[in-house]
């Protein structure tokens, strides 16, 4: 059960957006600030491997304490090898889930945040697939 590959001709064209170099403060702005502008392409910052990257939405709050909320847009990179502490998209018993990947010696644990679900300790008999590493989560305010 692998995600559908992205065809190279299906990638949308990208339009860099304006990026103001000034920082935003909560106080009064200084009229002396230089309002320089350059363009910013979020793909350069969020998607280093476009061919191996896909998007999906989180459907629950399993990692709410880690800052990932239900309905957040997740950016997932299939080319990255999971490291301990990474957040991954995994298929466990045919079900897609988002979990924190932990490796302690040869033991692998897929863990939700503290108050959500019990950790899933992987054994050699488990049918688990790691679809990719979550590199960013985008949520609306």
Q: For the chain, which residues make up each domain, given as ranges?
A: 12-45, 50-138
Give the pLDDT of residue 90: 92
State mean pLDDT over 101-121: 81
What is the C-alpha to C-alpha distance for residues 89 and 100, in angstroms, rounded to an integer? 9
The rounded mean pLDDT for the chain is: 79
Please report the pLDDT score of residue 63 as a whole number. Answer: 92
SS3 78: coil
Q: Where residue 133 falls among pLDDT bands split at 50, 70, 90?
A: very high
Per-residue pLDDT at 45: 83
Tell me if the domain spanning 50-138 has CATH number 2.10.109.10.
Answer: yes
The pLDDT of residue 75 is 96
Strand boundaries in 1-125, DSSP class E: 17-20, 37-40, 53-57, 73-77, 87-92, 95-104, 107-111, 120-121
pLDDT score recorded for residue 27: 62
User: What is the C-alpha separation between 108 and 123, in angstroms, rounded?
Assistant: 8
């Amino acid at each position: 059960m692998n995600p559908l590959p992205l065809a190279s001709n299906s990638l949308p064209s990208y339009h860099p957006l304006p990026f103001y170099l000034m920082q935003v403060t909560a106080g009064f702005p200084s009229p002396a600030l230089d309002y320089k502008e350059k363009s910013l392409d979020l793909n350069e910052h969020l998607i280093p491997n476009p061919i191996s990257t896909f998007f999906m939405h989180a459907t629950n709050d399993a990692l709410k304490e880690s800052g990932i909320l239900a309905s957040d847009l997740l950016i997932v990179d299939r080319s990255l090898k999971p490291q301990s502490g990474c957040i991954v998209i995994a298929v466990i018993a045919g079900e897609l889930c988002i979990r924190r990947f932990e490796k302690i010696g040869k033991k692998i644990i897929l863990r939700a945040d503290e108050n959500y679900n019990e950790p899933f300790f992987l054994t050699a008999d488990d049918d688990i697939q790691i679809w990719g590493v979550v590199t960013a989560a985008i949520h609306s305010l």
